[in-house]
Amino acid sequence: MATDYYSVLGISRDASQDQIKKAFRRLARELHPDVNPDPKTQERFKEINAAYEVLSDPQKKQVYDLGGDPLSQAGGAGGAGGFGAGFGNFSDIMDAFFGTASQRGPRSRTRRGQDAMIRLDVELSESAFGTTKDIQVDTAVVCTTCSGEGAAPGTSAQTCDMCRGRGEVSQVTRSFLGQVMTSRPCPQCQGFGTVVPTPCPECAGDGRVRSRRTLTVKIPAGVDNGTRIQLAGEGEVGPGGGPAGDLYVEIHELPHPVFQRRGDDLHCTVTIPMTAAALGTKCPLETLDGVEEIDVRPGTQSGQSIPLHGRGVTHLRGNGRGDLIVHVEVQTPGKLDPEQEELLRRLAKLRGEERPQGQFQPGQQGLFSRLKDAFNGR
């Protein structure tokens, strides 16, 4: 054994990790090159750095106590300008002078969970007036076996021996700019600062499990396709039993056999015979509020509409409801028997419509035709 690292730090072989760290900090303050530029002191500083790198690492210390030299196996001490080949000891040097090795520190295992979304089909009447519905959701929940800790019952997380609980490791490398210190998340604990030696058998150390549960959703009146209802805290539970995200229920309104929705108004078409349009009639219509009589006035033309005010969908924000618009389509008979034809001819004669001239109007132009006429100055 070429170097007695215990003697270098001035400690006994049964010294605790806390005693090792205190001895290193004391010597680092005395021998650091910025404090004492003597070349002999710099060599001494390299020795205490190498000694601390070995004795503060449980695995390297075990190899050393068995007669080996872990630094010679890793390429020797001082490979990075006297700060050693390891990742953890440079942080301890900084800690000795400034009281902290990193302002970031370990990241928490407990994090907020992700939001979740589910699509819910509703009938037109349900979206018009509002309702409550039960939904089945499958999300991550806190593991009851370990209460979200991730460790098996009777065990707990332990401080990572690679980063000593910092959650990150530091390394000094040479570059054309000189010596550069870089930090990265500890590869052993993934930046948490702790490790779980015995994971929970139920959740495999994640702190959460999948569960299917039933939730009651209150659907306000006036929702439409794509409306999202937020249920705070009902989403995925976060890693480590962290707070749950939100659940969003997206409304999908099912098509109605009679009504077509446009905003908060409802539209439908009623087809009536020519005689009913001429003489007038009443047609029963099953609305969202029940059966109502549609009053078709005499002389109603095809394409006219009959509004039923306040019979549409409830306004989502504000009071009142939209309208129900009934569009009239007049059906002309396509085939007449001799008696019907004779009656219609007599009616045409009585109205002076035996040879009607018709009323001609300009046809409706498309956008391209209108642009062309405007370009030609018509």
In this structure, is the dihedral angle defined by the CA atoms of residues 211, 214, 216 and 217, taken in order, positive or negative?
positive
Q: What is the pLDDT of residue 53?
A: 84
Name the 3-class secondary structure at 128: helix
Q: Where are the alpha helices (DSSP H) in the chain?
A: 5-9, 17-31, 39-55, 58-65, 70-73, 89-98, 124-129, 274-279, 338-350, 367-375
Lowest mean pLDDT among 15-29, 132-146, 248-262, 300-314: 15-29
Domains assigned to the chain = 5-101 (1.10.287.110), 116-157+196-253 (2.60.260.20), 260-350 (2.60.260.20)
Which helix (H) or strand (E) element contains residue 194?
strand 194-195
Lowest mean pLDDT among 42-56, 230-244, 275-289: 42-56
Are 234 and 246 contacting, i.e. CB atoms less than 8 angstroms apart?
A: yes
Q: What is the pLDDT of residue 251?
A: 97
pLDDT digits (tens, 9 = 90+) for 70-123: 665 444 433 333 333 333 444 454 444 444 444 455 777 788 899 999 999 999
357 against 270, higher pLDDT: 270
Q: What is the pLDDT of residue 74?
A: 44
Over residues 325-351, mean pLDDT? 91
Over residues 258-278, mean pLDDT? 96
Dihedral in degrees, nearest 10, Cα atoms 332, 334, 337, 342: 50
Lowest mean pLDDT among 88-97, 195-204, 284-293, 314-323: 88-97
Q: What is the pLDDT of residue 94?
A: 47
pLDDT at 306 over 50: yes
How many CB atoms neighbour CB 313 within 10 A?
Answer: 27
Are 320 and 331 contacting, i.e. CB atoms less than 8 angstroms apart?
A: no
Are 209 and 141 contacting, i.e. CB atoms less than 8 angstroms apart?
A: yes
| Displacement of CA 364 from its chain's centroid (Å) | 49
Answering whether pTM is above 0.85, one says: no
Token couple for 30: 């005395």
User: Which stretch, 48-57, 188-197, 249-258, has highest mean pLDDT?
Assistant: 249-258
